[in-house]
Amino acid sequence: MDEKQVKRRIVLVPVSAQGHVTPIMQLGKALHSRGFSITVIQTEYNRVSSSQDFSDFQFLTIPGTLTDSDLQSLGALQFLMKLNQICEASFKHCFGQLLQEQISRDDIACVIYDEYMYFSAAAFKEFQLPTVIFTTTNATAFVCRSVFAKVNADKFLIEMKDPEVQNSLFPGLDPLRYKDLPTSAFGTIEDSIKLYSEAVKTRTASAVIINSATCLESSSLSRLQRELQVPVYPVGPLHIAATSASSSLLEEDRSCIEWLNKQKPSSVVYISLGSLGRMETKDMLEMAKGLSNSNQPFLWAIRPGSIPGSEWIESLPEEFGEVVLERGYIVKWAPQMEVLRHPAVGGFWSHCGWNSTLESIGEGVPMICRPISGDQKVNARYIERVWRIGIQLEGEMEKETVERVVKRLIVDEEGADMRKRAMDLKENVEASVRSGGSSCSSLDDFVNSLQTKNF
């Protein structure tokens, strides 16, 4: 037997945030089903537990990393940069121990790390292990980040801060406008550029795996493949390719399914801002009133800590409760995939995180897009302009606009057309992960390359 064929362990290094953990664990499941053993190396902060459908995986924790309060005080970008700084030493120590005591280096086929755990590039190089980047955003956002890393920073900073250019198309990235570029709301533009450059600078990986599909963004994938020196494997949507994996970091409230069971088909607007999005009280109130005036039922996942200055919803005025009680239902954290699959759900009001976008596409549910940060803006633009399966709500949150957009999506002919296109896209992405489909073949190619190539 060829020596390479016995290397059957893959090490995963996730970023410990829901939108990053979910797809990398799904990738782990997909690779596990192809015969690989999986080791997950994670930080103490926001750990996935082995009891969550991952009893066959080995978990290793890097001790002494950052906490939730560090995230609050530093903001997500600084948090990530600091995490990379402090992880490297403690990681090397605990991984070295693992190699001594539990697993053989010769057994490891490769290490797949989230692109924002870029410390891995240097750390694993020291152990002479091949690395592969896993990106949890789509190819278009990846292309944008590569552009960021190359721009003339001074000129770009001036442009990005100029309100006049915000609606202009960014050269070479049509249909993205300046305001759609994936700068983060959780740090300065300077920090966004710094983080992206750090991630690009340390790239010595042998391949890139991406949770996307050719049918969604073939031109961005081709561009990425042209620009990067290594193979790019689009293997998504991973939540369809590896359905049994649940890696929710918060407890899901399934009572909303009972409530959905009582609603009419395609009538409910499901609302979620993902695991990091926050919203001001004033906007929450306008949104609740607009939703109520639209006469459509709504299911709202309001995450604890997502309203500044409030543990959950206790700081919201009484009026909010009155409006919501009329035709809404609130949970802290929803079983999102089950909700989107429910026949009562007619639309998804989303911050357009890439997982949420893929999950909505995977169920053929059209969207109301209210992006907050980073790649969500890219996704929202694609949802509205490229796939034409949603409406982006821009500008101030006003109850009249909210009412109108809900009616356009749920009641009007326009929304019915979007639903039809979303259903077509659902069929296409499902076909891509089936045997012979582009994403399934891409994952097979990756697996084969581990056995045949000198990574």
Q: Binding residues for ligand UDP, per CB under 6 A?
A: 18-19, 22, 248, 272, 274-276, 301, 333-334, 336-337, 353-356, 359
List, as one string, the DSSP characters of 186-203.
TS-HHHHHHHHHHHHHT-
Cβ distance to ligand UDP smaller for residue 353 or 415: 353
Cβ distance to ligand UDP smaller for residue 274 or 297: 274
Q: Whose CB is nearest to ligand UDP?
A: 19
Tell the smallest beta-carbon distance from residue 276 to ligand UDP (Å).
5
Tell the smallest beta-carbon distance from residue 440 to ligand UDP (Å).
21
Cβ distance to ligand UDP smaller for residue 13 or 129: 13
Burial 363-397 (b: 16+ CB within 10 A, else e): bbbbbbbbbbbbbbbbbbbbbbeebebbbbbeeeb
Cβ distance to ligand UDP smaller for residue 274 or 347: 274
Helix, strand, or coil here: 87?
Answer: helix
Tell the smallest beta-carbon distance from residue 274 to ligand UDP (Å).
3
Distance of CA 267 to the CA centre of its chain: 26
Cβ distance to ligand UDP smaller for residue 129 or 260: 260
Cβ distance to ligand UDP smaller for residue 380 or 447: 380
Contacts of 330 (CB under 8 A, 6+ apart): 299, 300, 301, 302, 313, 324
Cβ distance to ligand UDP smaller for residue 108 or 337: 337
| Tokens matching residue 206 | 């042998």
Distance of CA 359 to the CA centre of its chain: 10
Q: How many CB atoms lie within 10 A of CB 188?
A: 14
Tell the smallest beta-carbon distance from residue 416 to ligand UDP (Å).
25
The structure tokens 């939108």 sit at 19
Give the whole-angstrom CA distance, residue 237 versus residue 243: 10
Helices (H) and strands (E) in the chain, counts: 18, 13
Cβ distance to ligand UDP smaller for residue 290 or 374: 374
Tell the smallest beta-carbon distance from residue 349 to ligand UDP (Å).
12
Give the whole-angstrom CA distance, residue 261 versus residue 421: 25
Give the whole-angstrom CA distance, residue 50 versus residue 112: 19
Give the whole-angstrom CA distance, residue 409 versus residue 390: 8
Side chain identity, residue 230: V
Tell the smallest beta-carbon distance from residue 32 to ligand UDP (Å).
19
Helix, strand, or coil here: 336?
Answer: helix
